[in-house]
Structure 1
Amino acid sequence: MAVSGRAGATRPTATGSFEGSTVFSYVWPTTIDPWEVGFDHDSGILALAVTSHPDFDDTPLFDESRDGDRANDGGEWHMHWVVLGPDEACGLGALKVQDIPEGAAPRLPRTWPGVPILIDSPGWQPMLDRETVEVRVPFDDISVVRGANFDGVTAGLRINASAHAPLLCVTDVFKVASGDLSLPGQVND
């Protein structure tokens, strides 16, 4: 994704609390079925997201800062798969990362970080260089990618102040590459 300004230069300010904290994100919503990365079929809009959020760490399997502590890396830019869906509780026409209702047992990827939303933390490192954000994602079946479309979005998200559903809402859309979220992009091999 090409961005105006320096990629990753702006990060959210730490609040000292999980509840009400902010997430900055570069997001690629796709037409790929969430099943392809470990979620249930047709569970929402699968998006690849490169995020920074200094108030919490949601990649418990990885130490992005390489300091020996796997629980302090939320502020580092890192990658997730998320499943998005509409929720008016987040605002008129707004999206959220899909919540997992209490007692539900959806299909989840092996690297799901244990939070009650449809998110995966597979550990692929994003590359932020000058005006570019790039993530290389391996797929067993390249036809999944070749047949897919995507868009590019820069966005702000917020953890609900009560830490309950909806847990993670898209609160600000700063820019949409296509201008209208029509998902016109196609993946290069």
Structure 2
Amino acid sequence: MTRRSIFSGLAGLGVLLSLSTSGLAHDIAAKPGNAQSPSFDIVHTQIVRDGPDLVFRMAVSGKAGASKPTPVGKLAGSTIYSYVWPTSLNSGAVGFEQDQGILAFAVTSHPDFDDTPLYDENGDGDKTNDGDLWHSHWVVLVPDEVCGKGALKVRDIPEGTKPKLPPTWPGIPILIDSPRITPDISGKLVTVRVPAASLGDTAGMKFDGVTSGLRINASVHAPLVCVADVFDVASGDLSLPGRVMK
């Protein structure tokens, strides 16, 4: 799959969410060798119910989390690496306005800035220097041609507007949430336990798996965060064939 066709598939997710997939679908197995870096080469993706939690898992062919962005020393033009689960959940499920775009759960690393100002992940007493550690977000993705033909961005918040936002919104003018949900990255696996009660009704929830690189706009202006590179897609075509299973 070409980079352009992947972007087109991402931008077309809004249509795909309305289509039914096989009732037998659950997790997503993928062939290795689709990503240049083994750290982002997806071989398996799933979301399962386990007691009160939804457990998000992604397996890669190499060591998960081994590759991180090279620091550039400033926010503008900096890079974000991410393990992403695009879902069929409505954006309102996590506290944004309804119907704002594609709601995705992401585990990210970006050494040039911190977007979890409520938490001190590395325990050094400074809440503003933890961006390089892998951490979790909910983001809302929408198409924007400024990011490239068929490409996506994290939805910007227009200046002067006051949309509905989750209580753990980090104060950045995009639709992003920074809940205190710590990922477990070990061996080939990225695993995150998300309280199911925080999402409301997840019956029939569909998902896919994506590894990607995002970039902060050089002008630090809308679009603030573009999806610059798609490393791998679990389904190959972003058809969201995954289903949440017990």
Structure 2 counterpart of 1:96 = 153
1:42 to 77, 84, 99: 99
Contact 2:116 2:128 in 1 (8 A): yes
Structure with higher strand content? 2
Secondary structure in structure 2 of the residue aligned to 1:89: helix
Deviation at 1:111, TM superposition (A): 0.2
Amino acid corresponding to residue 51 of structure 1 in structure 2: T
Contact 2:93 2:199 in 1 (8 A): no
Structure 1 counterpart of 2:225 = 168
Amino acid corresponding to residue 36 of structure 1 in structure 2: A
Structure 2 counterpart of 1:52 = 109
Structure 1 counterpart of 2:53 = none
Superposition misfits of 4+ residues, deviation over 4 angstroms: none
Where do 5+ consecutive residues of structure 2 fail to align? 1-57
Does residue 1:25 correspond to 2:82, yes or no? yes
1:177 to 234, 239, 243: 234
Secondary structure in structure 2 of the residue aligned to 1:158: strand
Please give the root-mean-square deviation of Cα atoms over the aligned residues, in Å.
1.1
Amino acid corresponding to residue 78 of structure 1 in structure 2: H
Secondary structure in structure 2 of the residue aligned to 1:137: strand
Deviation at 1:142, TM superposition (A): 7.1
Does residue 1:81 correspond to 2:138, yes or no? yes
Structure 1 counterpart of 2:181 = 124
- Structure 2: distance between partners of 1:53 and 1:162: 18
Amino acid corresponding to residue 62 of structure 2 in structure 1: G
Q: Which protein shows a greater Rg?
A: 2
Does residue 1:5 correspond to 2:39, yes or no? no
Contact 1:12 1:24 in 2 (8 A): yes
Contact 2:69 2:79 in 1 (8 A): yes
- Structure 2: distance between partners of 1:183 and 1:69: 39
- Structure 2: distance between partners of 1:154 and 1:100: 25
Change (3 A) 1:68 1:149: same
Structure with higher helix content? 2
Contact 2:115 2:170 in 1 (8 A): yes
Deviation at 1:32, TM superposition (A): 0.2
- Structure 2: distance between partners of 1:108 and 1:84: 15
Structure 1 counterpart of 2:21 = none
% identical equivalent positions: 66
Deviation track 1:50-76 (CA, whole Å, cap 9, x = no partner) reads 000000000000111112111000000
Q: How does the TM-score come out when normalised to structure 2?
A: 0.75
- Structure 1: distance between partners of 2:122 and 2:199: 31
Q: When the two structures are aligned, how many residues end up with a matched partner?
A: 189
- Structure 1: distance between partners of 2:244 and 2:122: 29
Where do 5+ consecutive residues of structure 1 fail to align? none
- Structure 2: distance between partners of 1:108 and 1:46: 14
